[in-house]
Amino acid sequence: MGTSLVTLFVFVSAAVGCAALTWALMPLLARYALARPNARSSHKIPTPQGAGIAVIVATLVVTALALGLTAPTLLALLPLFAATVVIAIVGAVDDIRPIPVLPRFALQALCVGAVVLTLPFDEQIIPTLPLWLERTALLIGGLWFVNLVNFMDGLDWMTAAEGVPVTAALAVFGLLGALTQSPMLIAAALGGALLGFAPFNRPGAAKVFLGDVGSLPIGLLLGWCLLQLALQGHVTAALLLPLYYLADSTLTLLRRMLRREPFWLAHRSHFYQRATDNGFSVREVTRLVFLTNLALALLAGLSIALKSIAADGALLAVGAAVVAALLMRFARRKA
């Protein structure tokens, strides 16, 4: 079977598997993991959470089966898979009975650290940097990325609107030779699983949420795939793909810190959340985010194709302008 067919098979299998497992889990989640509305919520009625279990199980199982014929490759992924399972368990516990901030953060740091510290010593994004300095930066950046994916999972379809375009782009880049097999297949499986979850999370009729059990490990897997893209020399593309999430979450954090707000507590001040307060429907917000991510994926593809430092600078500027336009639109009342 050719690489393209294997990738398509992984995508479809993960979508079907996630949909079936989500459907099977819903009665259990309704009983033990009910998310009740509060002042920071975007939903109005108690809704089961925890369907991220289905997304992660489908992603890991389908990827493992696809790589089953190449045992050394699968063994190399064991630290990532183990960290994904552990951080999912942390999220599951937090969904049912909230864990205090510091222990939760420490457990997340252990999972991200396990992935970063087991990277091969000869793999670096910037070879001129001391290895310890780059790995420290990756640990901090990875921990932030895991949390920002969690922070941005505050509307129906929001994680799918981000994750599906990004993972699809990563899979295409892999097929074109810009990304190695393992992250390509993980991206395809994760994108398929998110698509399988989406029908259960439709805006206005959501039957279930991802929960922290889903958003945290999704952040870890997606961050690892982007890191692999950067390690292949495509740093600009790795920055462009998640640029909307990076901008919304980071600017919101900085704004809250400048206002001396307790930034570590849950809130409703992200740009996408303010958009719903400003008259945008959830479907409008997620559609605009999805279209923005398609534009960013195109810019990332151009960066890989052109292989030019000058072009990279221009593409980053265009991507930043596209994201800034969306953030400013979200921050204003809808006309």
- Cβ burial of 7 (10 Å; 0-12, 13-18, 19+) is buried
293: annotated binding-site residue?
no
Contact at 8 Å (CB) between 42 and 32?
A: no
Question: What's the half-sphere exposure (Cβ side, CA atoms, 13 Å) at 187?
Answer: 28
Instruction: Check residue 98 and report its DSSP letter.
Output: P
CB atoms within 10 A of CB 198: 20
Spatial distance between the Cα atoms of 160 and 123, rounded to a whole number of angstroms? 30
Take residue 273 and report the two structure tokens written for it. Answer: 């959340």
CA distances from 121 to 118, 124, 127, 196 (A): 8, 8, 11, 37
DSSP calls for 35-52? E---TT-S-SS-EEB-TH
Q: Which residues, including other chains, have CB under 8 Å from residue 69's CB and lie 6 or more apart?
A: none
Spatial distance between the Cα atoms of 275 and 280, rounded to a whole number of angstroms? 6
Contact at 8 Å (CB) between 141 and 125?
A: no
Which residue in the block uniquely carries the two structure tokens 């490759």?
Answer: 73
Spatial distance between the Cα atoms of 112 and 116, rounded to a whole number of angstroms? 6
Instruction: Give the torsion sign (CA, 6, 238, 214, 102).
Output: positive
212: annotated binding-site residue?
yes
Spatial distance between the Cα atoms of 324 and 133, rounded to a whole number of angstroms? 31
Binding-site residue ranges for Mg(2+): 150, 212
Binding-site residue ranges: 150, 212
